[in-house]
């Protein structure tokens, strides 16, 4: 086991298909376990057909029920919100959370736009650039702001609500394409890419770093997020086949063609599987069927390449590899047959060796209590039920 360089920040995404009240409880639970960031999916539709609750509504009570974690959409897009409306939401939530909001922003996906008549393919980079300019112009000053662009025109507009203590709300961009990376280097505050193996992580960041340098910015100051897909084996009995069964429905999200090609695999799906997560329209049966076929077609070898399968040591080592490649923050994608057991073991055993902080009181208590339950398979259930039981049975001091 190599020495671990601590001080990484570690976050999780709230499972978006949970009922709204359970999402709020889960956010509190994640904070009590010691995580630093809580991300909320911003979708109108997903290919799986599960509910998509509005994250902006949910982040209000999350902000009120938590005290330390940062909150943000992971990620939203510039097409469904006017930048002035989004600026108002961000500033309001920043007031509620006392300065803990962060914005994750990407160029969007067809599933959230095309069924509703919102154009997606038309000049996405240009629109995102204007969106950022207007958003920053409204958030960063209460002076009247004028802007004349192709998509937005503002005449002496100002935002009446200010971010908490007039802070600069960070914007992390989900940029992988060359044009979006250049834009992120010029205008974003951080990088929130999709799943990239650690050996390619710095290479993918370099175009963004180059654009930042040309704009007179220091790329070393950029927070950089790495997604770590963690299939923790909590009791030593999980087989690779079982892990693949869990991950197969996520493969279209986790596996991106350029990454496959960098790993030496040809991205040449058959005609019936010509689709992608960005392009799929869940309202169109033909489009959805092609996406399902793509998930079945993606080779097992590539899934194994991007997933950490093992115990705490393997997850810690993967976080260390990303830190060596330049990542400053980790988002864990939990893909375990025992999600609650994995979450508790990560909080108790992984976070201290990655963040440099001791486990929280709740993580220590649950880490000691759940060992026998993990070995018996009691926790191999889909939360929220175990999470809510844990939260409801804890003393008030632990929950708050």
Q: How far apart are CA 289 and CA 131, in angstroms?
A: 33
Q: How far apart are CA 195 and CA 121, in angstroms?
A: 23
Which is it for strands 103-105 and 145-148: parallel, antiparallel or unpaired?
unpaired
Q: How many CA atoms lie within 13 A of 361 on its CB side?
A: 7
pLDDT at 373: 66
- Asked if 282 contacts 329 with a C-beta cutoff of 8 angstroms, the reply is no
DSSP per-residue letters across 213-275: HHTT--GGGS-BEEEEEEEE-SSS---HHHHHHHHGGGHHHH--HHHHHHTT------GGG--
**pLDDT tens per residue across all 400 residues of the chain:** 445 667 899 999 999 989 999 999 999 999 999 999 999 999 999 998 899 999 999 999 999 999 999 999 999 999 999 999 999 999 999 999 999 999 999 999 999 999 999 988 778 999 999 999 999 999 999 999 999 999 999 999 999 999 999 999 999 999 988 999 999 999 999 999 989 999 999 999 999 999 999 999 999 999 999 999 999 888 777 887 888 888 888 899 888 888 888 888 888 999 999 999 999 999 999 999 999 999 999 999 888 888 999 999 999 999 999 999 999 999 999 988 888 889 999 999 999 999 999 999 999 999 988 766 666 665 554 443 333 333 343 444 444 4
Please tell us whether the domain made up of 9-262+306-399 is placed in CATH 3.20.20.30.
yes
111-124, pLDDT tens digit by residue? 999 999 998 877 89
Hey, is 188 helix, strand or coil? Answer: coil
- Whole-model pTM: value is 0.91
Tell me 359's DSSP state: P
Task: Please report where in the chains the tokens 């702001």 appear, as a residue.
Answer: 145
- Asked if 184 contacts 174 with a C-beta cutoff of 8 angstroms, the reply is no
Give strand pairing partners of 225: 329
Structure token pair of residue 198? 């650690």
Name the residue among 251, 303, 320 with its Cα closest to residue 280.
Answer: 251
- Asked if 198 contacts 322 with a C-beta cutoff of 8 angstroms, the reply is yes
Give strand pairing partners of 147: 154
Structure token pair of residue 316? 């810690």
322-334, pLDDT tens digit by residue? 999 999 999 999 9
Q: How far apart are CA 233 and CA 342, in angstroms?
A: 8
Task: Please report where in the chains the tokens 């390619």 appear, as a residue.
Answer: 200
Instruction: Using alpha carbons, list the distances in angstroms from residue 262 to 198, 230, 256, 302, 321.
Output: 12, 21, 10, 11, 18
Per-residue burial over 216-230, b = 16 or more CB atoms within 10 Å of its CB, e = otherwise: ebebeebbbbbbbbb
pLDDT at 279: 93
pLDDT at 386: 34
Hey, is 185 helix, strand or coil? Answer: helix
pLDDT at 262: 86
Angle at 217 between CA 211 and CA 219, to 5 degrees: 70
The residues spanned by each domain of the chain are 9-262+306-399
DSSP per-residue letters across 41-110: ---S--TT------HHHHHHHHHHH-SS-EEEES-B-SSSS-HHHHHHHHHHHHHHHTS-B-EEE----G
Burial class (CB in 10 A: 0-12, 13-18, 19+), 146: exposed
50 Cβ contact partners less than 8 Å away, ≥ 6 residues apart: 16, 17
């Amino acid at each position: 086991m190599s020495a671990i360089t601590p001080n990484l920040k570690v976050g999780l995404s709230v499972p978006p298909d949970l009922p709204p009240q359970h999402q709020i409880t889960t956010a509190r639970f994640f904070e009590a376990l010691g995580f630093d960031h809580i991300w909320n999916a911003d979708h109108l539709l997903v290919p799986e057909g599960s509910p998509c609750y509005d994250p902006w509504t949910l982040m209000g009570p999350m902000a009120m029920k938590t005290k330390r974690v940062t909150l943000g959409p992971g990620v939203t897009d510039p097409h469904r919100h006017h930048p002035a409306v989004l600026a108002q939401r961000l500033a309001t939530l920043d007031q509620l959370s006392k300065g803990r909001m962060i914005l994750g922003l990407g160029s969007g996906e067809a599933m959230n736009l095309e069924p509703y008549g919102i154009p997606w393919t038309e000049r996405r980079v240009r629109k995102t650039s204007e969106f950022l300019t207007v958003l920053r112009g409204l958030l960063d000053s209460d002076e009247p702001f004028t802007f004349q662009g192709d998509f937005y025109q503002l005449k002496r507009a100002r935002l009446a609500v200010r971010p908490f203590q007039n802070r600069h709300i960070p914007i992390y961009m989900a940029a992988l394409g060359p044009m979006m990376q250049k834009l992120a280097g010029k205008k974003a505050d951080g990088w929130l890419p999709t799943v990239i193996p650690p050996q390619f992580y710095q290479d993918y960041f370099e175009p963004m770093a180059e654009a930042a340098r040309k704009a007179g910015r220091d790329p070393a100051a950029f927070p950089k997020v790495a997604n770590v897909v963690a299939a923790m084996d909590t009791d030593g009995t999980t087989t690779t086949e079982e892990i693949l069964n869990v991950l197969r429905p996520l493969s279209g999200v986790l596996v991106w063609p350029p990454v496959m090609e960098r790993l030496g695999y040809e991205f040449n799906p058959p005609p019936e599987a010509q689709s992608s997560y960005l392009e799929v329209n869940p309202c169109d049966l033909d489009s959805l069927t092609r996406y399902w076929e793509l998930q079945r077609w993606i080779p097992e070898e590539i899934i194994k390449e991007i997933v950490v399968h093992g115990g705490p040591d393997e997850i810690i080592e993967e976080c260390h590899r990303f830190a060596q490649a330049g990542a400053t923050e980790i988002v864990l994608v939990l893909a375990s047959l025992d999600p609650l057991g994995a979450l508790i073991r990560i909080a108790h055993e992984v976070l201290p060796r990655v963040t440099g902080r001791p486990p929280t009181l709740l993580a220590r208590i649950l880490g000691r209590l759940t060992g026998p339950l993990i070995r018996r398979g009691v926790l191999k259930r889909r939360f929220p039920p175990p999470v809510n039981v844990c939260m409801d049975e804890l003393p008030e001091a632990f929950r708050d």
